[in-house]
A and B are shown apart, each in its own frame.
Chain A
């Protein structure tokens, strides 16, 4: 129990922060928002997966990916392919030249289901694909980059190029992918109509719980020696290497984990919004994800969730009134955050909340809260009783 408390929740401060977030998204939002707004928040929370993935990869690993949309998209498309096949049974597609295949294939003169679509008739395969396809893809990219010691700006540019290539590919191969419109008209999941209010409510809760689960899993990674090594590598990569660690393996792993997290968000997006399209794969969504993380605080797993919500509420509000201004505003916001609040909302919170008496107990002692709360810490006089301080690690 203690182990779970220290490592998955991050000790007292971490557990409290997670509890507050859980109350907000599991109780307060569902109680006070109407079905439409709640579904909107659910959509935002799927972007929060991508933001959380960037805390691991960028905040801690120091590896900036400008292509998280790729993985978000891979997860989203995998789910969409399954749902589309279910929606394209021969009965409901009987007016097509070839009944039983997705409508856009029929429009593009395809007469049978392409081979790579066939396994997506199985839900189990789809679930596995949501996890495995992004991890394998990230592994291949990571292996070929990090083993060659490509990093920093070059890595960021390469991820961006991949995002462009994938978008072009999806848009160009209309018959296989649905093209620019994406995969639309998704109806049921194993017979369960996902368009009803009750299904949307259920999916909202599944999504929120998954997000909390992913945050806790990330917390576990960051409070481990792995997490400390990420910080160490970000600071002095050579020192880590010449302390006997194969640095590239750590980078590949964290890249794969971040890919899977983003992909889960993508799959949940498809389920809640009812379609998937290339506009969630390319450069713009990928950069937006980085902005969510920057605004929330790239060192804070919880902070980025608030960052994602805030930016998206802002986006929805603004683009209703001044759509053309939004992009400039977002660019300005990003620059302002990077320049004045490098730790984002989480940094502002940690700086100012201690000044307010009743907020004090909620504040983490440092912005590097994840590793700082690791059980490994001992007091300087620890020679007296090192036992008590390591309980968390042992139990």
Chain B
């Protein structure tokens, strides 16, 4: 039932219903290789649910999600991750009791089985990778810091770093700048622009200033359906969008 496409991610006719309420409603959407896509929409539009569906956290009622022309809807969560899809949660989701270094190292995509993890060895390559990523997320001076005492913004970056450790082909970020200071927002925008160079990124965001800094193509979601899609200027000029979202 999946059509073969050139897209990295092809979502077709995707629906999920919670007791009859369709949080995502026959949604069709395509993401190109190396594309950065921003998804916006009012509260409850179904943005988080869309990411939940892609990463397997929520099972779809119907429709297909095909990643590199491989059907994802029946796969287990960890298999979807291993296929190359990384996802950041809306609230920072890091291991508070581990150090920054350990948070990153534990996310390294080797030793993922029970026995693999028992005999996993920290090679120079792992250390090199941790240091590269730590530098990218500006936490290279906090490697031995317990993650619990990082600032909110640093926690958000750390989680992005944990995903970068896995080098996913598709990275999905749910409101990455929520709760960040203006300076941190600017730095995150730069970070996103850097990391989307050789991978596709889907960003969900509320903050319009931030969206303008990173957006190339925007999808507006409303009541589980796509309301508009296109460049920021085009979307902002769209009357339906103004009505439901940007207007107030």
A residues with a Cβ closer than 8 A to B are 220-221, 224-226, 228-229, 231-232, 235-236, 238-239, 241-247, 249-250, 253, 368, 371, 374-380, 382-383, 386-387, 390, 393-394
Contact partner of B98 (CB less than 8 A), chosen from A231, A380, A387, is: A231
Among B24-32, B59-67, B107-115, the stretch in contact with A: B107-115
The complex places the Cα of A380 from the Cα of B104 at a distance, in Å, of: 13
Q: Report the 3 A-B pairs with minimum CB-CB distance, sorted nearest first.
A: A244-B81, A225-B120, A225-B117
The complex places the Cα of A227 from the Cα of B104 at a distance, in Å, of: 15
B205 to chain A, nearest CB (A): 20
Interface pair B144/A228, CB less than 8 Å apart:
no
Report B92-113 residues with CB < 8 Å from chain A CB: 93-99, 101-102, 105-107, 109, 111-113
Interface pair B97/A231, CB less than 8 Å apart:
yes
Interface pair B143/A393, CB less than 8 Å apart:
no
The complex places the Cα of A28 from the Cα of B120 at a distance, in Å, of: 38
Q: A239-B93, A242-B81 are in contact. Are A377 and B117 (CB under 8 A)?
A: no
The complex places the Cα of A374 from the Cα of B113 at a distance, in Å, of: 19
Q: Specify the main secondary structure of chain A where it touches its partner.
A: helix
A165 to chain B, nearest CB (A): 28
The complex places the Cα of A242 from the Cα of B85 at a distance, in Å, of: 9
Can you spell out 30 A-B residue pairs with CB atoms less than 8 angstroms apart? Answer: A220-B118, A224-B118, A224-B120, A225-B118, A226-B114, A228-B105, A228-B106, A229-B106, A232-B106, A235-B96, A239-B93, A239-B95, A241-B78, A242-B78, A242-B81, A242-B87, A244-B82, A245-B78, A375-B122, A376-B101, A376-B105, A378-B127, A380-B141, A380-B142, A382-B143, A386-B124, A386-B131, A390-B123, A393-B122, A394-B123
Q: A241-B78, A244-B81, A245-B78 are in contact. Are A253 and B98 (CB under 8 A)?
A: no
Residues of A close to B4: CB separation below 8 A: none
Contact partner of B107 (CB less than 8 A), chosen from A235, A243, A246, is: A243
Chain B interface residue count, CB cutoff 8 Å, equals: 47
Nearest A-chain residue to B107, judged by Cβ: A243
Interface pair A235/B95, CB less than 8 Å apart:
yes
Nearest B-chain residue to A299, judged by Cβ: B97
The complex places the Cα of A380 from the Cα of B118 at a distance, in Å, of: 25
Residues of B close to A245: CB separation below 8 A: 78, 112
Q: A226-B118, A235-B96, A390-B127 are in contact. Are A380 and B87 (CB under 8 A)?
A: no
Q: A225-B111, A242-B55 are in contact. Are A382 and B120 (CB under 8 A)?
A: no
Interface pair B143/A380, CB less than 8 Å apart:
yes
Nearest B-chain residue to A389, judged by Cβ: B127
Nearest B-chain residue to A251, judged by Cβ: B114
B166 within 8 A of A: yes
B18 within 8 A of A: no
Report B137-166 residues with CB < 8 Å from chain A CB: 140-144, 159, 162, 166
Interface pair B143/A378, CB less than 8 Å apart:
yes
The complex places the Cα of A250 from the Cα of B94 at a distance, in Å, of: 19
B57 within 8 A of A: yes
Interface pair A238/B117, CB less than 8 Å apart:
no
Interface pair B166/A243, CB less than 8 Å apart:
yes
The complex places the Cα of A243 from the Cα of B167 at a distance, in Å, of: 11
Interface pair B78/A238, CB less than 8 Å apart:
no
Report B67-90 residues with CB < 8 Å from chain A CB: 76-78, 81-82, 86-87, 89
Interface pair B118/A250, CB less than 8 Å apart:
no
Residues of B close to A380: CB separation below 8 A: 140-144
Interface pair B99/A377, CB less than 8 Å apart:
yes
Interface pair A226/B121, CB less than 8 Å apart:
no
B119 within 8 A of A: yes
Nearest B-chain residue to A221, judged by Cβ: B118
The complex places the Cα of A244 from the Cα of B166 at a distance, in Å, of: 9
Nearest A-chain residue to B77, judged by Cβ: A241
The complex places the Cα of A374 from the Cα of B120 at a distance, in Å, of: 12
A193 to chain B, nearest CB (A): 40
B85 to chain A, nearest CB (A): 9
Nearest A-chain residue to B146, judged by Cβ: A366
Interface pair A382/B131, CB less than 8 Å apart:
yes
Residues of B close to A383: CB separation below 8 A: 131, 140
Residues of B close to A232: CB separation below 8 A: 95, 98, 106
Interface pair A235/B122, CB less than 8 Å apart:
no
A5 to chain B, nearest CB (A): 15
B127 to chain A, nearest CB (A): 5
Residues of B close to A247: CB separation below 8 A: 78
Among A231, A236, A239, find the residue whose CB has the most chain B CB atoms closer than 10 A: A239
Among B57, B87, B89, B112, find the residue whose CB has the most chain A CB atoms closer than 10 A: B112
Q: A236-B94, A242-B81, A378-B143 are in contact. Are A224 and B127 (CB under 8 A)?
A: no
Residues of A close to B101: CB separation below 8 A: 376-378
Residues of B close to A220: CB separation below 8 A: 118
Residues of B close to A394: CB separation below 8 A: 121, 123
Interface pair A224/B119, CB less than 8 Å apart:
yes
The complex places the Cα of A380 from the Cα of B141 at a distance, in Å, of: 5
